[in-house]
Structures are given as structure tokens and as C-alpha cells.
Amino acid sequence: MSDNLFAGLPSAVAVDEQFRAILQRPGLKIERIVSTGQASPPGFWYDQADGEWVVVLQGEAKLRFADETEARHLKAGDHLDIAPHRRHRVDWTQPDAPTVWLAVFYSV
């Protein structure tokens, strides 16, 4: 059975982000995230035990790291690897169209 990463996207701004597991194996999780204007709450930082490789497939977002002064503006095709326990947050996602992320979480 096949699936499509762009299937079921919201047609309007949604209240909450959508998270859908695509594949899970020991030490590996692949997840589709759909944002429609959401951002991390003020003062909140992700601090994850696993590594995370993330790519923006559609839309735009600003991702900030605690150890950097400026947020990184990510557009479709931009990707990066986030080391375990590297504190980061989503400062902004495009409010007028879905931002589709693919996140690969892995144990190191």
C-alpha cells in the first residue's frame, strides 16, 4: 500500500499542527508535520534525546537554535540535522498555506 505525503492537507488554517507517524522502527521514527501558522509557545525549547533530521517539503518556517542569535528561514527543500539535546524552537510558520515538514528522529 502506498501513501502520499501531501494527502489530507488542511485547506485552511488549522488550530493545531498535524503530526502523523509514517514509519517507526527501533531507534527510528519518520513523521510528517503540517503547520499552518503555528509556532512554539513563548519560552519553550525542544530538548530531545534523539537526533532529528528535518526537511521542509512545502511552505516556509523559521527555526531558532538557543545557541544562535538569528532564526534560520527555511523554504521548500531546505533541510538540517539537529544534534541530540540541541535546544531549538519554531519561531514562525507560513500562516496562509500549509508548511509540510518531514522529520526523521534517530537514536545515536
Among all chains, which residue has been given the C-alpha cell 522502527? Answer: 25
pLDDT band at 16 (very low <50, low <70, confident <90, very high): confident
The pTM assigned to this predicted structure is 0.92
Task: Among 3.30.300.30, 2.70.180.20, 2.60.120.10, 2.30.30.790, name the CATH number for the domain at 18-106.
Answer: 2.60.120.10
CB 101 within 8 A of CB 32: yes
pLDDT in tens, 19-76: 999 999 999 999 999 999 999 999 999 999 999 999 999 999 999 999 999 999 999 9
What is the domain partition of the chain in residue ranges? 18-106
Q: d(Cα 76, Cα 88) in Å, to the nearest integer?
A: 19
pLDDT in tens, 61-103: 999 999 999 999 999 999 999 999 999 999 999 998 999 999 9
pLDDT band at 10 (very low <50, low <70, confident <90, very high): confident
Q: What is the dihedral of CA 39, 20, 36, 75, to 10 degrees?
A: 80
Q: What is the pLDDT of residue 1?
A: 58
Q: Report whether pLDDT(2) > 90.
A: no
